[in-house]
Amino acid sequence: MRVELVFATVLSSLGAAEAHDVWAEGTPIPKWIKAACCSPADAHHLRPDQVRRVSEDYCEVDGYFGRVAAADALPSQDGEYWIFYKDNKSGTQTGVFCSFAPMAF
């Protein structure tokens, strides 16, 4: 739950490099966590044509290797598509940390 709140904080400030300085309960987030999780490189802002429903339960996103569970998407406060994951140096990707989609998705 804390991770989702951090991502919501990041989204609310859209692009601010230091958008997540505190946890939801107000204590500071350690620098090592901010460096390892949810860096600007982890945030992927998508155009609507980059997100495709492939079934009732899943969608595919340009740039992400796996399918994304549609039910896991949170309502987007700005009406845009966002997905958060890390591209690893080895060419692999992490699982999706969090995703946001317009309410009508």
37 closest CA partner among 2, 68, 12: 2
pLDDT per residue over 38-80, tens digit each? 777 888 999 999 999 999 999 999 999 999 999 999 998 889 9
pTM confidence score: 0.66
8 A C-beta contact, residue 102 and residue 76: yes
70 closest CA partner among 87, 51, 92, 45: 51
CA–CA distance, 61 with 49 (Å, rounded to integer): 9
**pLDDT for position 37:** 62
8 A C-beta contact, residue 70 and residue 97: no
Cβ neighbours of 24 (radius 10 Å): 12
Stronger pLDDT, 82 or 8, i.e. the higher one: 82
8 A C-beta contact, residue 74 and residue 4: yes
**pLDDT for position 8:** 42
**pLDDT for position 1:** 41
Domain count within the chain: 1
What is the domain range of residue 92?
A: 2-101
**pLDDT for position 6:** 38
